[in-house]
Amino acid sequence: MRVLGIDPGLQKTGWGIININGNALHFVASGLIRTNPKDAMARRLAVLHHGLVSVIDEWSPAEAAIEETFVNKNPASALKLGQARGVLLCVPALKGLEVGEYSANKVKKSVVGSGHAAKQQVGMMIKTLLPACGTISEDEADALAVAITHAHYETLGKTLLRANAR
């Protein structure tokens, strides 16, 4: 199964694609969708939309997952990030993909083992789990961590369903 992980951001959105084969995880691709802070909000949201459509069209993931955002102390920033996240949730849904949502703490706990891990720890674990990813940005590492978290929870969910069916 191929999973797209998304680390939402208005200026930089990280994305990462992994293949899951049983318990094996394989890096496929990752990147950033960047917007220009000088552009109008509508233009920036359109860039995010078109960028994620291109990623999905090129890499054909079966499912997607996105990191939930925490409430920012600055209401204007939180609102802008919420608008970006709305676009990033909508694109895979419109493409017919299931979209999982995971808190930052759940992602960190799933990948590092601690819900309060530092970004550097997440990046180091991603390089350990997916050595083929090479040098990537923090946003790409976070997106790959979201994809791995989704893989873990999807695998666990399917295992539990099989166990309950017996």
Domain boundaries, the chain: 2-165
> Is 138 one of the catalytic residues?
no
Q: Which of 139, 140, 142, 154 is catalytic?
A: 139
> Is 39 one of the catalytic residues?
no
pLDDT in tens, 29-64: 999 999 999 999 999 999 999 999 999 999 999 999
**pTM of this prediction?**
0.91
From 43, 16, 103, select the one nearest 68 (Cα to Cα).
Answer: 103
pLDDT at 155 exceeding the cut of 50: yes
Q: Which of 63, 67, 142, 154 is catalytic?
A: 67
> Is 139 one of the catalytic residues?
yes
The architecture CATH gives domain 2-165: 2-Layer Sandwich (3.30)
The pLDDT of residue 142? 96
Q: How far apart are CA 20 and CA 39, in angstroms?
A: 38
